[in-house]
Amino acid sequence: MNDTALSVVGLEKTYGGGLAAQTRALDGISFDVPRGQFLAIMGPSGSGKSTLLNCIATIDRPTAGTISVGGQNLAGLRPHARADFRRERLGFVFQDANLLDTLTCRENIALPLAIGHVRPAEIRERVESIAATLNVADTLDKFPYQCSGGQRQRVAAARAVVTRPALVLADEPTGSLDSKNARILLEQLASLHESYGASILMVTHDAYAASFTERVLFIRDGRLFTELVRGDAARTAFFEQIVSVTRTIGGADA
């Protein structure tokens, strides 16, 4: 099995051209994410965080450079193949849970498995297992509108992980949560790689959220500015390191 969940090499993304002025959103970014790592991407507004996420998610195509997820090079994927890749190899957690209100939480989590023609017995087992891990087992037969914001976001995280994707992309997942529910979600995201070997890349503007990860990459002006690795440091000490860097690069606004 490939031990690298994500490999980004020399990534560039340029918008505009012709009569319009060119904007270089990404300027030669390279980094690897080992399988099972929880990584945060931070940077000021306009730094390229969202563009990077969109390129990895195959929503945007890079101008130059390569992206490989789980050993598969994304270059040259045809539209249908890109859609299959997103469904089968990537998991997504958004700022808003993006659950379907006409389906129960159980059905929301099971949906990508059903689309992938997984056997019903296996769907039931996998849904109940991940729901227990994320402490939403008691919401499975409720509809999303009957759940709290924190519960909905954890159901969304369960849906993202239940397919056992090569990589989970989390885009400001705590942005709509209060501090208590944000902490619960972050603690459980941080433990997912232990239970499921989940590799998670989280874009965030929040130093508190980033302090739950194992490693933080900082982007400025489309380039990799620096990185921090938590190692054996306490989360509070890691938080202070993150805050120090965000001050140096002018904040990490969304």
Q: Would you say residue 17 has pLDDT above 80?
A: no
Report pLDDT digits (tens) over 149-200: 999 999 999 999 999 899 999 999 998 888 999 999 998 888 887 777 889 9
- Go through the domains of the chain in sequence order and give each one's CATH number: 35-59+78-248 (3.40.50.300)
CA distances from 223 to 47, 75, 126, 167 (A): 8, 21, 39, 22
Q: What is the pLDDT of residue 251?
A: 56
Q: What is the pLDDT of residue 96?
A: 86
Q: Would you say residue 58 has pLDDT above 50?
A: yes
Report pLDDT digits (tens) over 116-133: 899 999 999 999 999 998
Q: Is 222 exposed, middle or buried (0-12, 13-18, 19+ CB in 10 A)?
A: buried
Grade residue 86 by pLDDT with cuts at 50, 70 and 90. confident
Q: Would you say residue 140 has pLDDT above 90?
A: yes
Cβ(33)–Cβ(4) below 8 Å? yes
Q: Would you say residue 254 has pLDDT above 50?
A: no
Mean model confidence pLDDT for the chain: 91
Q: What is the pLDDT of residue 81?
A: 86
